[in-house]
Amino acid sequence: MNLKEYLVEKLEKDTEEAKKKAEDAVKESSKDESITDEKSFRAAAKAKFEKVFGDKLDEDKMKDIVDGILDKYKKEAEAGDWGTLIGVLNKSFGK
């Protein structure tokens, strides 16, 4: 196996592992009934990001994504429609 073949194989494996972690995080979203405010939404989002990215988590990027969701869906958050925000968060993982 040459270097190019090795790198392609490794990238495919890493991509598949990341996809599996994201799918697991999305499955857990159905358990997110305890989200009732911004603080609990942020905590749930952080838990999902940590599960998917582990040690490779970029906290600044995570914060930007969560802040962006909260900003864009401010009306839904104010109305207590946290399910919509969780759905948007899940889509950020490719689901």
Number of domains in the chain: 1
More confident residue, 7 or 62: 62
More confident residue, 46 or 3: 46
| 6, containing H or E segment | helix 3-28
How do residues 11-60 score in pLDDT, each as one tens digit?
788 787 777 777 666 666 555 568 999 999 999 999 999 988 999 999 99
DSSP secondary structure string, 45-68?
HHHHHHHHHGGG--HHHHHHHHHH
- Predicted local confidence at residue 32, as pLDDT: 52
Given the structure tokens 């990001």, which residue do they identify? 49
* Model confidence, pTM: 0.65
Q: What range defines the domain where residue 27 resides?
A: 3-92
- Predicted local confidence at residue 29, as pLDDT: 52
Q: Which of 5, 65, 53 is nearest to 25 (CA)?
A: 53
